[in-house]
Amino acid sequence: MSTTVFNNNLKTLGLLQVNQEQTDLINGPAYKEYIKILYLPAGYKLRVDFACYETQQPTLFFMSPNQYLELEKAGEGSGYFIFYNRDFYCIQIHDQEVACDGLLFNNIRNMPKVELSDAEIAFLGGLFQEMIQEFNLNDSSMEEMVRTYLKQLLIRATRAWKRQHLTHDVTGQQSDLEFFRRFTRLVDEHYKSKHTVADYADFLCMAPKTITHKFNRLRLPQPNEVIKNRIILEAKRLLVHTSLTAKEIAYDLGYNDPAYFSRLFQSKTGESPSGFRAGFTG
Protein backbone atom coordinates (compact mmCIF):
# COMPACT_ATOMS: atom_id res chain seq x y z
CA MET A 1 0.00 0.00 0.00
CA SER A 2 1.43 3.39 -0.97
CA THR A 3 0.70 6.56 0.96
CA THR A 4 -2.98 7.43 0.58
CA VAL A 5 -3.60 11.13 1.13
CA PHE A 6 -6.61 13.41 1.16
CA ASN A 7 -5.62 17.04 0.67
CA ASN A 8 -8.16 19.79 0.04
CA ASN A 9 -8.47 23.42 1.18
CA LEU A 10 -5.65 23.08 3.76
CA LYS A 11 -7.25 19.90 5.17
CA THR A 12 -4.97 16.87 5.11
CA LEU A 13 -5.27 13.24 6.20
CA GLY A 14 -3.01 10.43 5.09
CA LEU A 15 -2.75 6.68 5.67
CA LEU A 16 0.54 4.83 5.30
CA GLN A 17 1.48 1.21 5.85
CA VAL A 18 4.19 0.69 8.47
CA ASN A 19 6.99 -1.82 7.97
CA GLN A 20 10.79 -1.91 8.00
CA GLU A 21 11.04 -0.17 4.62
CA GLN A 22 8.94 2.78 5.82
CA THR A 23 10.71 3.57 9.10
CA ASP A 24 13.12 6.14 7.64
CA LEU A 25 10.24 7.96 5.96
CA ILE A 26 8.14 8.04 9.15
CA ASN A 27 11.15 9.16 11.22
CA GLY A 28 11.95 11.97 8.79
CA PRO A 29 10.70 15.57 8.82
CA ALA A 30 7.77 15.05 6.41
CA TYR A 31 5.20 14.28 9.14
CA LYS A 32 6.50 16.41 12.01
CA GLU A 33 3.78 19.06 11.66
CA TYR A 34 0.89 16.56 11.77
CA ILE A 35 -1.12 14.88 14.49
CA LYS A 36 -0.14 11.21 14.30
CA ILE A 37 -1.69 7.84 15.15
CA LEU A 38 0.32 4.62 14.91
CA TYR A 39 -1.19 1.14 14.91
CA LEU A 40 1.66 -1.30 15.57
CA PRO A 41 1.60 -5.09 15.97
CA ALA A 42 3.84 -6.88 18.45
CA GLY A 43 7.60 -6.58 18.02
CA TYR A 44 7.94 -2.85 17.36
CA LYS A 45 10.14 -0.49 19.35
CA LEU A 46 9.69 3.27 19.28
CA ARG A 47 10.57 6.44 21.13
CA VAL A 48 8.08 9.24 21.81
CA ASP A 49 10.03 12.24 23.08
CA PHE A 50 12.16 10.71 25.85
CA ALA A 51 10.11 7.59 26.60
CA CYS A 52 10.73 4.22 24.92
CA TYR A 53 8.01 1.64 24.21
CA GLU A 54 8.07 -1.94 22.94
CA THR A 55 4.85 -3.49 21.70
CA GLN A 56 3.95 -6.85 23.22
CA GLN A 57 0.58 -6.88 21.42
CA PRO A 58 -1.18 -4.67 18.85
CA THR A 59 -1.09 -1.14 20.23
CA LEU A 60 -2.22 2.36 19.23
CA PHE A 61 0.04 5.37 19.85
CA PHE A 62 -1.07 9.02 19.70
CA MET A 63 1.28 11.95 19.11
CA SER A 64 0.81 15.69 18.86
CA PRO A 65 2.67 17.76 16.25
CA ASN A 66 5.23 19.01 18.76
CA GLN A 67 6.26 15.52 19.90
CA TYR A 68 9.30 13.69 18.54
CA LEU A 69 8.71 10.23 17.13
CA GLU A 70 11.33 7.65 16.20
CA LEU A 71 10.61 4.09 15.11
CA GLU A 72 13.70 2.25 16.32
CA LYS A 73 12.73 -1.28 15.31
CA ALA A 74 10.00 -2.77 13.13
CA GLY A 75 8.32 -6.07 13.93
CA GLU A 76 7.45 -8.82 11.48
CA GLY A 77 3.87 -7.68 10.90
CA SER A 78 2.78 -4.50 9.16
CA GLY A 79 1.03 -1.64 10.92
CA TYR A 80 -0.67 1.60 9.91
CA PHE A 81 0.26 5.25 10.25
CA ILE A 82 -2.41 7.98 10.15
CA PHE A 83 -1.39 11.62 9.95
CA TYR A 84 -3.69 14.62 9.78
CA ASN A 85 -3.80 18.31 10.58
CA ARG A 86 -6.09 20.35 12.80
CA ASP A 87 -7.99 21.70 9.82
CA PHE A 88 -9.09 18.15 8.98
CA TYR A 89 -10.08 17.15 12.51
CA CYS A 90 -9.85 19.30 15.61
CA ILE A 91 -12.43 22.03 15.36
CA GLN A 92 -14.38 23.09 18.43
CA ILE A 93 -17.64 21.50 17.32
CA HIS A 94 -16.09 18.04 17.66
CA ASP A 95 -16.55 16.24 20.94
CA GLN A 96 -13.86 17.55 23.30
CA GLU A 97 -12.97 14.18 24.74
CA VAL A 98 -12.04 12.68 21.37
CA ALA A 99 -10.71 15.78 19.63
CA CYS A 100 -6.98 16.25 19.12
CA ASP A 101 -6.61 17.79 22.58
CA GLY A 102 -8.61 15.07 24.32
CA LEU A 103 -7.55 12.25 26.60
CA LEU A 104 -5.51 10.38 24.02
CA PHE A 105 -3.16 13.28 23.31
CA ASN A 106 -3.18 15.24 26.55
CA ASN A 107 -3.93 13.03 29.51
CA ILE A 108 -3.33 12.85 33.24
CA ARG A 109 -1.04 9.83 33.02
CA ASN A 110 1.20 11.20 30.24
CA MET A 111 0.57 7.89 28.51
CA PRO A 112 0.11 8.08 24.73
CA LYS A 113 -0.71 4.42 24.08
CA VAL A 114 -3.65 2.00 24.14
CA GLU A 115 -3.15 -1.77 24.07
CA LEU A 116 -5.89 -3.49 22.10
CA SER A 117 -8.15 -6.44 22.85
CA ASP A 118 -9.01 -9.07 20.24
CA ALA A 119 -12.35 -7.36 19.57
CA GLU A 120 -10.67 -3.97 19.11
CA ILE A 121 -8.04 -5.49 16.81
CA ALA A 122 -10.77 -6.98 14.62
CA PHE A 123 -12.70 -3.70 14.58
CA LEU A 124 -9.67 -1.62 13.62
CA GLY A 125 -8.56 -4.09 10.98
CA GLY A 126 -11.91 -3.65 9.27
CA LEU A 127 -11.83 0.11 9.75
CA PHE A 128 -8.42 0.49 8.09
CA GLN A 129 -9.62 -1.58 5.13
CA GLU A 130 -12.71 0.61 4.85
CA MET A 131 -10.51 3.72 4.82
CA ILE A 132 -8.34 2.27 2.05
CA GLN A 133 -11.40 1.39 -0.02
CA GLU A 134 -12.77 4.90 0.50
CA PHE A 135 -9.54 6.43 -0.80
CA ASN A 136 -9.65 4.12 -3.83
CA LEU A 137 -13.29 5.02 -4.50
CA ASN A 138 -12.45 8.74 -4.42
CA ASP A 139 -16.09 9.78 -4.22
CA SER A 140 -17.14 13.38 -3.61
CA SER A 141 -18.18 12.43 -0.06
CA MET A 142 -14.80 10.83 0.75
CA GLU A 143 -13.73 13.60 3.15
CA GLU A 144 -16.73 13.17 5.45
CA MET A 145 -16.58 9.38 5.29
CA VAL A 146 -12.87 9.26 6.19
CA ARG A 147 -13.44 11.76 8.99
CA THR A 148 -16.20 9.48 10.30
CA TYR A 149 -13.79 6.53 10.33
CA LEU A 150 -11.19 8.63 12.16
CA LYS A 151 -13.71 9.64 14.81
CA GLN A 152 -14.77 5.99 15.29
CA LEU A 153 -11.12 5.09 15.90
CA LEU A 154 -10.72 7.92 18.43
CA ILE A 155 -13.91 7.03 20.30
CA ARG A 156 -13.01 3.34 20.57
CA ALA A 157 -9.46 4.19 21.62
CA THR A 158 -10.63 6.74 24.22
CA ARG A 159 -12.90 4.14 25.82
CA ALA A 160 -10.05 1.63 25.92
CA TRP A 161 -7.61 4.21 27.30
CA LYS A 162 -9.98 5.09 30.15
CA ARG A 163 -10.40 1.40 31.06
CA GLN A 164 -6.64 0.89 31.10
CA HIS A 165 -5.41 4.08 32.75
CA LEU A 166 -8.16 5.56 34.93
CA THR A 167 -9.64 4.27 38.15
CA HIS A 168 -13.41 4.31 38.58
CA ASP A 169 -13.11 7.19 41.06
CA VAL A 170 -11.21 9.37 38.59
CA THR A 171 -13.51 8.48 35.70
CA GLY A 172 -16.45 9.72 37.73
CA GLN A 173 -14.88 13.16 38.17
CA GLN A 174 -15.61 14.19 34.59
CA SER A 175 -15.70 17.94 35.29
CA ASP A 176 -12.25 17.80 36.91
CA LEU A 177 -10.89 15.77 34.00
CA GLU A 178 -12.18 18.37 31.58
CA PHE A 179 -10.65 21.10 33.73
CA PHE A 180 -7.29 19.31 33.63
CA ARG A 181 -7.42 19.16 29.83
CA ARG A 182 -8.31 22.84 29.67
CA PHE A 183 -5.46 23.76 32.04
CA THR A 184 -2.88 21.72 30.15
CA ARG A 185 -4.06 23.16 26.81
CA LEU A 186 -3.45 26.64 28.20
CA VAL A 187 -0.02 25.60 29.47
CA ASP A 188 0.86 24.20 26.05
CA GLU A 189 -0.12 27.48 24.42
CA HIS A 190 1.56 29.87 26.87
CA TYR A 191 4.39 28.06 28.71
CA LYS A 192 7.04 30.24 27.05
CA SER A 193 5.63 33.42 28.56
CA LYS A 194 3.49 32.32 31.54
CA HIS A 195 5.38 30.48 34.27
CA THR A 196 3.17 30.64 37.39
CA VAL A 197 -0.13 29.15 38.52
CA ALA A 198 -1.40 32.68 39.09
CA ASP A 199 -0.91 33.42 35.37
CA TYR A 200 -3.22 30.56 34.44
CA ALA A 201 -5.65 31.37 37.22
CA ASP A 202 -6.14 34.72 35.47
CA PHE A 203 -6.95 32.93 32.21
CA LEU A 204 -9.45 30.71 34.01
CA CYS A 205 -10.95 33.49 36.15
CA MET A 206 -10.41 31.62 39.41
CA ALA A 207 -8.10 31.65 42.41
CA PRO A 208 -4.81 29.70 42.21
CA LYS A 209 -5.95 27.79 45.32
CA THR A 210 -9.01 26.50 43.42
CA ILE A 211 -6.79 25.07 40.69
CA THR A 212 -4.69 23.29 43.31
CA HIS A 213 -7.82 21.79 44.93
CA LYS A 214 -9.01 20.41 41.58
CA PHE A 215 -5.63 18.79 40.93
CA ASN A 216 -5.61 17.31 44.44
CA ARG A 217 -9.00 15.67 43.83
CA LEU A 218 -7.50 13.85 40.83
CA ARG A 219 -4.38 12.99 42.85
CA LEU A 220 -2.22 14.79 40.31
CA PRO A 221 1.07 16.64 40.77
CA GLN A 222 0.73 20.26 41.82
CA PRO A 223 -0.22 22.59 38.93
CA ASN A 224 3.09 24.42 39.33
CA GLU A 225 4.83 21.11 38.59
CA VAL A 226 2.74 20.65 35.43
CA ILE A 227 3.89 24.06 34.19
CA LYS A 228 7.55 23.47 35.04
CA ASN A 229 7.49 19.95 33.56
CA ARG A 230 6.21 21.33 30.25
CA ILE A 231 8.98 23.93 30.20
CA ILE A 232 11.64 21.33 30.98
CA LEU A 233 10.29 18.96 28.32
CA GLU A 234 10.66 21.68 25.71
CA ALA A 235 14.15 22.49 26.98
CA LYS A 236 15.11 18.82 26.58
CA ARG A 237 13.74 18.77 23.03
CA LEU A 238 15.72 21.87 22.11
CA LEU A 239 18.90 20.53 23.71
CA VAL A 240 18.69 17.23 21.83
CA HIS A 241 17.21 18.30 18.50
CA THR A 242 18.75 21.75 17.93
CA SER A 243 22.15 23.41 18.25
CA LEU A 244 20.85 26.25 20.46
CA THR A 245 23.00 27.04 23.49
CA ALA A 246 21.57 26.73 27.00
CA LYS A 247 21.48 30.53 27.21
CA GLU A 248 19.54 30.79 23.92
CA ILE A 249 17.10 28.11 25.12
CA ALA A 250 16.56 29.99 28.37
CA TYR A 251 15.66 33.16 26.45
CA ASP A 252 13.44 31.20 24.05
CA LEU A 253 11.51 29.81 27.02
CA GLY A 254 10.95 33.25 28.55
CA TYR A 255 13.73 33.35 31.15
CA ASN A 256 15.78 36.54 31.18
CA ASP A 257 18.20 35.02 33.70
CA PRO A 258 19.92 31.99 32.09
CA ALA A 259 21.58 31.09 35.40
CA TYR A 260 18.17 30.80 37.09
CA PHE A 261 16.93 28.64 34.24
CA SER A 262 19.97 26.35 34.51
CA ARG A 263 19.30 25.91 38.24
CA LEU A 264 15.66 25.08 37.49
CA PHE A 265 16.70 22.54 34.86
CA GLN A 266 19.19 20.91 37.24
CA SER A 267 16.66 20.75 40.07
CA LYS A 268 14.12 19.00 37.79
CA THR A 269 16.48 16.63 35.97
CA GLY A 270 19.52 16.21 38.22
CA GLU A 271 21.76 17.43 35.38
CA SER A 272 22.89 20.71 33.93
CA PRO A 273 21.62 21.54 30.42
CA SER A 274 25.05 20.85 28.94
CA GLY A 275 25.34 17.60 30.90
CA PHE A 276 21.94 16.45 29.68
CA ARG A 277 22.84 17.22 26.05
CA ALA A 278 26.18 15.41 26.31
CA GLY A 279 24.64 12.39 28.04
CA PHE A 280 21.77 12.04 25.58
CA THR A 281 23.81 12.50 22.40
CA GLY A 282 26.56 10.23 23.69
Q: Contact at 8 Å (CB) between 252 and 238?
A: yes
pLDDT of residue 108: 59
Which strands form 35-40's sheet, in the order they lie side by side?
4-8, 11-18, 79-84, 35-40, 59-63, 113-115
d(CA 126, CA 99): 22
The model's pTM: 0.84
Q: Over 241-270, what HEC string results?
A: HCCCCHHHHHHHCCCCCHHHHHHHHHHHHC
pLDDT (tens, 9 = 90+) of the chain, 282 residues, equals 456 888 888 899 999 999 988 898 899 889 999 999 999 999 999 999 888 999 999 999 999 888 899 999 999 999 999 999 988 987 555 556 666 656 787 765 677 899 999 999 999 999 999 999 999 888 889 999 999 999 999 999 988 888 887 765 555 566 677 788 889 889 988 999 999 999 999 999 999 999 999 888 877 789 999 999 999 999 999 999 999 999 999 999 999 999 999 999 999 999 999 999 998 876
d(CA 8, CA 27): 25
pLDDT of residue 9: 81
Tell me how long the chain is.
282
Q: Contact at 8 Å (CB) between 114 and 160?
A: yes
Q: Contact at 8 Å (CB) between 233 and 193?
A: no
pLDDT of residue 215: 87
Catalogue all structural domains in the chain, each as residue range(s) with its CATH number: 4-165 (2.60.120.280), 172-279 (1.10.10.60)
pLDDT of residue 100: 64
